[in-house]
Amino acid sequence: MRSIVPVQIGEIILADQQVDAIVIGAGPGGYHAAIRLGQLGKSVVCIDRDEVGGVCLNWGCIPTKALLHVGEVVRHINHADAIGLKVSGLEFDREGIAKFKTDVVNSNVGGVKTLFKANGVTFAYGQAEFKGPKQIAVKAKDGATSTLIAKDAVVIATGSAPVDVKAWPRDGETIINSDDAVGMKRIPKNMLVIGGGVIGLEFATVYTRLGAKVLVIEALPQILTGTDSEISKTLGRILKKQGVEIMLGTKVGDLKKDGKVVKATFNGEGTSGKDETREFDMVLVAVGRRPVTDGLNIQAAGLKADDKGFIAVDAQMRTSVPGVFAIGDVTGQPLLAHRAMKQGVIAAEVISGDKSAAFDPVAIPNCVYTDPEVATIGLSEEEAKAAGYTVRIGKFPLAASGRARTMNESDGVIKLVGDAKSDLLLGMHIVAPQAESLIGEGVIALEMGATLEDIGLSIHPHPTLTEGIMDAAEAAHGKAIHIVNPKPKTPSPAPAGAAH
């Protein structure tokens, strides 16, 4: 029985009320939890101090992908002569591009609001603060405060935010973070991106396509740290060919603003060990994200975050405090929207009495929306070897794909990592157009315990990019048709006592 009187979306609740569940945060994890709770008959209030959809819909996943789509169209136009099309006079309408991005965001946000209403979810703007494990004070922007009591549970889904580096103070104009970058107030001539991770490389792709000269500096030995080394090198080579300058093993020191430019000094492998100073009219600091718990007063709920600010949970998304759940970025790595979404659904089902619901994926896919895209799941070759596996590798270059040729694409690779003893698939790694969709096959294959032979024997449609996965699996056994099979190598034995 729903105990709350519905209020209009966006209004703050002005009277103390009891509901079945309270969800703090309306990002991907939060809105999934709230909607599923509503579907399961629970009265639920979802609170956020910003906008429905959180970072993902408003400043992250959705707007960046809209901008990356613009960049992809630009690339196709710039290379149209290769397929017999003469295109001239391309102009960038920054305001038009920004409007397209904003329209996409508004459409998605509006869709979630509609789903809230359809499922009986009440949304409230405001800062939530624990007064007890199941007692939440909500302060609206106008200062009005109300108190909510959750009969069943509170779900913390407050997500993450860009890491601010004190040495490089953000001003939102010349020294910016990812939230500022997606706003696209202007297109710089020379841009420095500090950080060669997912966020840095995606924005490097966007701004390069729109005419900026971009330098990416990464302190570690490779971009996309933790990704299969061969995949990382392949993407780096492609990005450099597209005009993105990349310096690895290099650290940025001082950033000094001088009028409308920033003088950046850096040193490392990329500068042959010498200090180098260059001028940029925009610097993007993309060195990671931090969990958001400020203002929550989780101590009042009896909770304590770890030294990095994350809240520990079990497979059912329960924290150490009965009736308090946490999901998404605030619970630790990997900080991915689809992880938060699934965790939100699991939390809602557990709260509603499903004792079997648990978050227990074999692996979680990761996608990088550069052009071409990178998508990975499972173990990299390096991780598999470190875990003690004797690996079997199958690779298929995009240049050998008939479908890729029809798309005028040739840069990229599909790589499968398998266990040489059991033939089980351990990981799938792709650099290709539509990699974010292709990796879905790897998700299913890993979850179902498929072998490389299973994948190779499965008939894939022709001509498609996905048949490259089949070809890679066949290559692992020396049976590929569309490439010259590598000579078989005697696999090196796993270390004594290692897992298999």
* Residue 488 pLDDT level (bands cut at 50, 70, 90): low
Tens digits of residue pLDDT in 121-169: 999 999 999 999 999 999 988 888 899 999 999 999 999 999 989 889 9
78 in Cβ contact with 70 (< 8 Å): no
Lowest-pLDDT range of 16-30, 34-48, 334-348: 16-30
| DSSP code of residue 123 | E
Asked if pLDDT for residue 310 goes beyond 60, the answer is: yes
Residue range 99-108, pLDDT digits in tens: 999 999 999 9
Residue type, 203: F
User: 174-184: per-residue pLDDT in tens?
Assistant: 999 999 999 88
- CA angle, 379 as apex, 483 and 422 as ends, to 5°? 70
Residues of the chain with pLDDT > 70: what percent? 94
Q: What is the pTM of this model?
A: 0.91
Write out the two tokens for 308.
């990095």
- List the domain range (segments joined by +) for residue 436: 366-476
* Tally of structural domains, the chain: 3
Confirm whether 80 is domain-assigned. no
Asked whether residue 134 falls in the same domain as residue 29, the answer is: yes
Average pLDDT over residues 226-247: 97
Question: Over the stretch 171-209, which tens digit does the pLDDT of each residue have?
Answer: 999 999 999 999 888 999 999 999 999 999 999 999 999
Phi and psi at residue 215, to the nearest 5°? -115, 125
Which amino acid is present at 427?
Answer: G
Q: Is residue 332 part of a domain?
A: yes
Residue 60: per-residue pLDDT: 87
Look-up of token digits 């270390």: 495
pLDDT of residue 198: 96
What is the rounded distance in angstroms from the CA atom of residue 455 to the CA atom of residue 318? 37
pLDDT tier for residue 490 given thresholds of 50, 70 and 90: low
| pLDDT for res 59 | 87
Residue 344 or 6, more confident: 344
Identify the active-site residue in 429, 460, 462, 500. 462
Among 51, 52, 46, smallest CA distance to 13 is for 46
Hunting for tokens 């080394």 — which residue is that? 229
pLDDT at residue 12, as a whole number: 47
**Residues 17-45: what's their mean pLDDT?**
96
**462 labelled catalytic:** yes
Domain termination site, one of 244, 272, 287: 287
Q: Kindly state whether residues 21 and 110 are assigned to the same domain.
A: yes
Going by the DSSP 8-state scheme, the letter that residue 491 receives in this structure is P
In a domain, 484, yes or no: no
pLDDT of residue 6: 40
Mean pLDDT rounded to a whole number for the chain? 92
pLDDT surpassing 70 at residue 111: yes
Which CATH number belongs to the domain containing residue 395 in this structure? 3.30.390.30
**Predicted pLDDT of residue 11:** 47
Whether 495 shows a pLDDT value over 90: the answer reads no
Given pLDDT bands bounded at 50, 70 and 90, which one contains residue 226? very high
pLDDT of residue 497: 47
Question: Are 192 and 307 part of one and the same domain?
Answer: no
Decide if 268 is inside a domain: yes
Q: Residue 230's domain is classified under what CATH number? A: 3.50.50.60
Q: Is the separation of the CB atoms in 354 and 382 below 8 Å? A: no
Q: Are residues 23 and 141 in the same domain?
A: yes
The predicted-structure confidence for 398-444, as pLDDT tens digits, reads as follows 999 999 999 999 999 999 999 999 999 999 999 999 999 999 999 99
For residue 496, pLDDT over 80 is answered with no
Q: How far is CA 494 from CA 171, 286, 387, 416, 421, in A?
A: 52, 38, 9, 19, 10
Is residue 194 domain-resident? yes
DSSP 360-424: --S---EEE-SSSEEEEEE--HHHHHHTT--EEEEEEEGGG-HHHHHTT----EEEEEEETTT-B
- Whether residue 469 sits in one domain with residue 389: yes
User: Looking at the domain assignment, is residue 166 inside a domain?
Assistant: no
Same domain, 313 and 415: no
pLDDT at 16: 61
pLDDT of residue 491: 53
